[in-house]
Amino acid sequence: MKKILSGSAVAALCVAFVSEAAATEWNASVWGKRRAFTEHVEKLSELVSEKTNGDFTINVSYGGLSKPRENLDGIEIGAFEMAQFCAGYHRDKNRAITVLELPFLGVNNLDEEVAVSHAVYDHPAVKDEMAQWNARIIMTSPMPQYNIVGTGDPRDELAEFEGMRVRATGGLGKAFEAVGGVPTSVPATEAFNAMESGVVDTVAFAQHAHLSFGTINEADWWTANLNPGTVNCPVVVNIDAYEALPAEHREALDSSIDEAIDHYLANYGSLLDQWDSVLDEKGVAKVQIDDAVIAEFRTKAADPIRAQWIEDMSAQGIPAQDLYDLVLSTLEQQRSGN
């Protein structure tokens, strides 16, 4: 005897199938542990879930999906839908955005870092290069100027950088190399071991990373004002996954980006406010570098590295001068309040 579903039962099944089809689940690949550097990704996940009543979820994975240097490759093949990466990990794959890692750009705070990063991300050359990896940049991970920690006597003269083995990636590595340092670009997750074992003498990080990766626990001193530059670490999404989102889910994602960044900035600001007490607690000396030393560092590193970058990138078809000028004009606009 055939069983026939009632009209109400059929309707209930249809609703169930539609609800299941409308649900979206993404995976986001980051590394280390939850910290100030990942707070905007966490906030984005929270916001899209709230706005879609749980129909759009982003699962944030700390190292379970990929190694840090392979996140962009994972995005390309669709192994996950969202990822964070740092330009200095693979400069050949993201040449255009390395303008943001040039030393001594003169970016003074995190708001300026957000402004210049997003202006560069919107440049057609950046979008085209990222599209080669099936990637779309949605937001930056703004970090303050890097400073170094080390053991033993503070290195507060430029002559003391000669032969110094420093964990520094991208343009920062180039800057230290210009004054005789020996940079190495081990991933952030390996920096503590490199310092503890003596593979490096010093480590260049922003404050949150010195805390999160334990290098501050190994340090005797920290340079408070060297400020040679920072690294640029975008959050990207897989283009195919983004374009396949239902309209309401895409709107939930897009409309949450500014709020996620605001949350990140507020959280990072709290960390910076507490930094001096962290140094006191851990017995780390705060070293002020003389202005003349910083000026000498800038002279040897900033202009030559910038000129070489523009020459090299231009030879590869990247509009290098245009990108560098965009950084300067964006800083000017940001400071004028426009």
Nearest to 190 by CA among 222, 172, 214: 214
Contact 156, 289 (CB under 8 A): yes
> pLDDT for 18-37, tens place per residue?
444 479 999 999 999 999 99
Give the domains, in start order, of the chain with CATH numbers: 24-142+231-271 (3.40.190.170), 147-230+281-336 (3.40.190.170)
Q: What is the mean pLDDT of residues 304-318?
A: 97
> pLDDT for 124-142, tens place per residue?
999 999 999 999 999 999 9
Backbone angles phi, psi at 329, to 5 degrees: -70, -35
Task: Tell me what percent of the residues of the chain surpass a pLDDT of 90.
Answer: 89
Report d(CA 139, CA 236) in Å as an integer.
7
Find the length of the chain.
338
Non-local CB neighbours of 194 within 8 Å, separated by 6+ positions: 167, 184, 186, 200, 203
pLDDT for 337 equals 79
Whether 1 shows a pLDDT value over 50: the answer reads no
> pLDDT for 214-273, tens place per residue?
999 999 999 999 999 999 999 999 999 999 999 999 999 999 999 999 999 999 999 999
Give the range among 11-15, 74-78, 148-152, 284-288 with minimum mean pLDDT: 11-15
Non-local CB neighbours of 328 within 8 Å, separated by 6+ positions: none
pLDDT for 241 equals 98
Per-residue DSSP letter, 60 = E
pLDDT for 283 equals 97
pLDDT for 338 equals 56
Q: Strand, coil or helix: what is 145?
A: coil
Nearest to 228 by CA among 163, 324, 161, 279: 161
| Residue 211: band (very low, low, confident or very high) from pLDDT cuts 50, 70, 90 | very high
Please state the pTM of the whole predicted model.
0.85
pLDDT for 289 equals 96
| Residue 123: band (very low, low, confident or very high) from pLDDT cuts 50, 70, 90 | very high
Q: What is the mean pLDDT of residues 181-200?
A: 93
